[in-house]
Each structure stands twice: as structure tokens, then as C-alpha cells.
Structure 1
Amino acid sequence: MAWLPTLAAKQGEHLRADHLRYARRKTGTGALHCFVLDCSASMLARGQLALAKGLLAALFDRARNDRVEVALIAFGGTRAELRFGPAVPRWWNERWLAPIGAGGGTPLAAGMEAAARVLQSSARRDTARHRHVWLLTDGRSTQWPARPRHADHVTVVDFETATVRLGRCAALAEAWDAQCIDAHALLATGASAF
């Protein structure tokens, strides 16, 4: 409610519905953060999927507080699906994070194609909007998809915990001219990534 304009419209009369004036709600930064979550069997090995879901919950809480739109794409087995958004997350985000399971192969190309569709749709609606892609993976994929075309910034969050590290997350980030960050380091920042 915009009280000063409402009182000015009222001008000493009894308050009526036609006197009411409303303030525009601030909608945040206008950014879109698209999270692409690896739900393949390898993400279950040492609890990486549980860590990724905890990190997502913290990031979505931050997005909710900042009124930033997010989207979540989960990929595993043979497909990728849009699980949330694009929208500003609400308090109930654990309800749709909890049922995300893992298994099967790592269809990274399908996940990045789904992200590209979300970003392209966002670019059509608002050309000035900043679009950020976050790939949360352990890098255990043989696929090497192209960087999403409409992404202004890409971050590869590395969940690799094996004794013998393959380093595919860092290699993919380098090929995409993206940032690569270790999942534990991101978690330590308190989800201040936005």
C-alpha cells in the first residue's frame, strides 16, 4: 500500500476503495540463475547429491531473500527435466528438492540443452536480464556439450570426490570460459554466490 498517495487521494473524505493507491513491489536484480543438477548414479557414491541438494536449498533461500528468479534442471539416466521455475523460490523449496533421486548415466548434453531452452525463453522476454548457469556435477560424463548460447556467466560446481580425480569439471569450465569452484568451497562461503 502506498499510504501518502492514498491519503492525498482521500483529501479529508472517508476512505473509499477508489482512494487506494498501491506501490510497485521491488522485484530484485532481474537476474536468472539456472541450476543444472547432475542426478546420475556417480553422484550417490560419496553423498555428493545430498551435498548438492543442501547447497541448492541454501542458494534458493538466498534467491528468495533477494527476489531473484531461479530455475532447476535435473538430469540423470537418459533424460533431463525442468523441476522448478523460472520463478522466485518460496519457503517450500525442500518439498520439491527432497524427491530428486539419482541413478543411471550422465546425460550432460540433455541437461545443457534444457538449460539452453530456459535461457533462450528468458532472452526473448527480457534482453537486458543477466543469465547465469550453474552446473553442479562430479564431471563423470563422456559428453562434452557446447556452452549455452544465452548464458552471460557459467559456473561449474565441482563435486568430484574420488581418490583419483579426473579433473573434467575444470577442463569443461576452461573450454566454456567459465568459473570452476569446488562444492565445499562454495558451501563454506555461506551461499553468498549471488
Structure 2
Amino acid sequence: GSLRRGMESNLIVFVVDSSGSMAGKDRLQAVTGAVMSMLRDAYQRRDKVAVITVRGSTPELVLPPTGSTEVAMRRLDGAPTGGRTPLGEGLMLAHEVIEREHRKDPTRRALLVALTDGRATGTQGMAGVAKASAVIAQRKLAGCLVIDCEQSRRVRLGLARKLAEQLQAACVTLPEISAESVSGVINTI
């Protein structure tokens, strides 16, 4: 069913791979734009949005769950990009945020949206991704969506699709990663 039907409020947690120089910046910009348009949408007034960036040595909750456009803009503007990709650690952090919000308000539905090519180059590597995915899939506190950001190479690794399978999530490839395409796909869920 659609996440948008009825008046329940949702918690949408973005896990965005902002490692790599250009691509990381583009993805973070797309997520920032999507967050802003979601929070401005009066229909979703009661929704909360959070953003976790996966880059460098550890993931960071750059935007703790909020319904405020002002807070979102301030926190997301100029968040750092580049470096390694601690993806498993980022997914675990998302899980902790979702758990915490669930305890506060069990009626709020959660959606975890991961923008990633599925590769993990942080200390826990791919094993960390598998472990985190198993925990999230088991707890069933969130619907999950993977937005596959793999740069089209000749040989596709298909790791984002594998991550989606582990999370029991939908996996989509967007023709381009932009604020419009990201918010558009979330609205169809």
C-alpha cells in the first residue's frame, strides 16, 4: 500500500552514500532537495525526516529526525562529502534511529531509503552490510527502498540489488539522481 494514504505520519530515514567526490556531492544535493520538498508539502506536515551520510571513517546522523525545513536546511547545507564508504555502519545507525523513534511513537511508520551503489569500503566491509541488513529485515520496523546509484560501467556489480534482497526492499534505478526523481519515487511507495 501507499505510504501516503490516510493521516498517519511517517518517519523517512535517508542513508546516503556521500563518499566519492562528485557523485557524493550530487547524491547529497538530491537528498537535500527531496527532504526540503517533502517537508514543505503540507500534506506531509506530520512527517519527520532524518538523513545519515555514509562517508569517511564513520557514518553521521547529519539530520536527526525533524519536521522543520529550517533545521533541515541548516544541517544539510554544506555537509561534507568524499572519502570511504562505511555502508554497514550507516545502515546500523539508521536502524538505531528507527528503533528510538519507534519507542517514542509506535504508530509512526518508518521508511528507510538508501542511496548507494551497494559497495562498502569502510572497516566492516560487505560483511557489515549483510549483518546490518539482516537486523533491519528481521525487526521489520521499516519499509525499505534502495535507490541504485551504481555508475553505469561496462560490468555492473549489482551490489545495490543484492542489498535490496537482503533488506527485503524494493530496488529502483533512476535515470538521474535528482531531488525530483528521489521525492517522486518515494511518493509512489
Length-normalised TM-score, structure 2: 0.75
Aligned to 2:3: none
Deviation at 1:37, TM superposition (A): 1.2
Kindly indicate whether the alpha-carbon contact (under 8 Å) linking 1:40 and 1:77 is maintained by their aligned counterparts in 2. yes
Kindly indicate whether the alpha-carbon contact (under 8 Å) linking 1:136 and 1:157 is maintained by their aligned counterparts in 2. yes
Deviation at 1:97, TM superposition (A): 2.4
Deviation at 1:181, TM superposition (A): 1.1
| Separation in structure 1 between the aligned mates of residue 182 and residue 86 of structure 2, nearest angstrom | 29
| Separation in structure 1 between the aligned mates of residue 78 and residue 174 of structure 2, nearest angstrom | 21
Instruction: Give the RMSD, CA atoms, in angstroms.
Output: 2.2
Which of residues 163, 169, 180 in structure 2 aligns to 1:172?
A: 163
| Separation in structure 1 between the aligned mates of residue 182 and residue 160 of structure 2, nearest angstrom | 22
One-letter identity of the residue aligned with 2:157: L
Which of residues 183, 186, 189 in structure 2 aligns to 1:191?
A: 183
Kindly indicate whether the alpha-carbon contact (under 8 Å) linking 1:63 and 1:89 is maintained by their aligned counterparts in 2. no
What is the identity percentage for the equivalent residue pairs of Structure 1 and Structure 2? Answer: 28
Unaligned runs of 5+ in 1: 1-27
Deviation at 1:87, TM superposition (A): 0.9
Classify the secondary structure of the residue corresponding to 1:136: strand
| Separation in structure 2 between the aligned mates of residue 155 and residue 83 of structure 1, nearest angstrom | 20
One-letter identity of the residue aligned with 1:102: T
Distance 1:92 1:119, change over 3 A: closer
Deviation at 1:155, TM superposition (A): 0.6
Which of residues 125, 128, 145 in structure 1 aligns to 2:104?
A: 125
Deviation at 1:92, TM superposition (A): 6.2
- Aligned residue pairs: how many? 163
Q: Which moved more, 1:61-70 or 1:108-117?
A: 61-70
Deviation at 1:82, TM superposition (A): 0.9
One-letter identity of the residue aligned with 1:179: A
Distance 1:39 1:189, change over 3 A: closer
Which of residues 90, 97, 121 in structure 2 aligns to 1:111?
A: 90
| Separation in structure 1 between the aligned mates of residue 14 and residue 27 of structure 2, nearest angstrom | 11
Which of residues 120, 136, 146 in structure 1 aligns to 2:132?
A: 146
Deviation at 1:50, TM superposition (A): 3.0
Relative contact order higher in (CA < 8 Å, ≥ 6 apart) = 2
Please state if 1:157 is matched with 2:147: yes
Write out per-residue CA displacement over residues 37-73 of structure 1, whole angstroms, 9 at most, x where no aligned residue: 11223xx3xx322331232133212321122200111
Classify the secondary structure of the residue corresponding to 1:101: coil
Q: Which has the larger radius of gyration?
A: 1
Deviation at 1:115, TM superposition (A): 0.6
| Separation in structure 1 between the aligned mates of residue 52 and residue 95 of structure 2, nearest angstrom | 11
Deviation at 1:81, TM superposition (A): 1.4
Kindly indicate whether the alpha-carbon contact (under 8 Å) linking 1:33 and 1:70 is maintained by their aligned counterparts in 2. yes
Classify the secondary structure of the residue corresponding to 1:115: helix
| Separation in structure 2 between the aligned mates of residue 186 and residue 156 of structure 1, nearest angstrom | 13
Structure in which a larger fraction of residues adopt helix = 2
The correspondence of residues 31-42 of structure 1 with structure 2, limited to 5 A, is 31-41=10-20
Length-normalised TM-score, structure 1: 0.73
Distance 1:89 1:150, change over 3 A: farther
Unaligned runs of 5+ in 2: 1-6
Kindly indicate whether the alpha-carbon contact (under 8 Å) linking 1:119 and 1:150 is maintained by their aligned counterparts in 2. no
Write out per-residue CA displacement over residues 161-183 of structure 1, whole angstroms, 9 at most, x where no aligned residue: 14132110011101221011114
